[in-house]
Amino acid sequence: MKLVFATNNKHKIEEVQHMLPASIEIVSLESIGCFEDIPETADTIEGNAIMKANYVTQKYGYDCFADDTGLEVDALNGEPGVFSAHYAGEQRNSDDNMNKLLDALSAASDRNAQFKTVIALNLNGKQHLFTGIARGEITIEKTGNQGFGYDPIFKPQGFELTFAQLSLEEKGAISHRGKATEQLINFLKTK
Ligand code: IMP
């Protein structure tokens, strides 16, 4: 089975391919000749995952999956959510995004939050969604230098460390993306 992963992140492709049985081959956007920016203008995380997967299936005719992730903060009614990448502006800078979020929560007593990843899979004419959630809280200051994005200010439930203080393996075992990917893989193994 050949399946396109609608991402330009080679690291994500390697990670998923590594977890799959050899009978399922992940194909990159590059190798199907898709070099344009795929639109992700929906107003929900689910909507963006679906938009990206549908773009590839409809325009190129391939079975495909795509992921989208956001950080949802309880005290901010789920913001930044679908706007996580450019919360502090189009420069898409992680430090700016984290500073804005820490400012927004400076007077908050509730610092609970969750990362949510949705994977949309188009397979044999049907669509399937897989959701992974990691609950935790937003710290008072940045700590750690692993990972990316909001990792230095997110402390997963049950841990005294931020995502940015965990190894890739430790984070992957409990993370939103790890959980959604595991569901996708378990589903694909039944195909
Ligand atoms: P994407 O949909 O995977 O591109 O994620 C959108 C944005 O959410 C990223 O630009 C990051 O700011 C944030 N984000 C996604 N996943 C993570 C994560 O695992 N840790 C921290 N921030 C993340």
The CATH number of whichever domain residue 158 belongs to comes to 3.90.950.10
Rounded to two decimals, the pTM is 0.94
Q: How far apart are CA 53 and CA 120, in angstroms?
A: 6
How large is the average pLDDT for residues 141-157? Answer: 96
Chain-centre distance for alpha carbon 99: 21
Query: Which two tokens mark 52?
Result: 């990206």
Which atom in ligand 1 lies closest to the alpha carbon of residue 69?
2
Q: CA separation (Å) from 60 to 82, 104, 126?
A: 26, 42, 16
How far apart are the CA of 39 and the centre of ligand 1, in A? 17
8-state DSSP, 39:
P
Q: How far apart are CA 106 and CA 140, in angstroms?
A: 8
- Of all protein residues, the one whose alpha carbon is nearest to atom 23 of ligand 1 is 149
Q: What percent of the chain has pLDDT over 70?
A: 100
Residue 43: CB atoms within 10 Å: 9
Q: Does the beta carbon of 137 sit less than 6 angstroms from any atom of ligand 1?
A: no
pLDDT in tens, 6-20: 998 887 888 888 888
Which of 9, 37, 84, 154 for mutating ligand 1's site (highest number of atoms within 8 Å of CB)?
A: 84
Q: How far apart are CA 97 and CA 141, in angstroms?
A: 13
- Residues spanned by the domain of 133: 2-189
How far apart are the CA of 127 and the centre of ligand 1, in A? 23
Among the residue ranges 46-55, 56-65, 165-174, the one predicted with the least confidence is: 165-174
How far apart are the CA of 36 and the centre of ligand 1, in A? 21
pLDDT in tens, 100-141: 999 999 999 999 999 999 999 999 999 999 999 999 999 999
Choose among 143, 138, 77: nearest CA to 103. 138
Domain count along the chain: 1
Q: Does the beta carbon of 181 sit less than 6 angstroms from any atom of ligand 1?
A: no
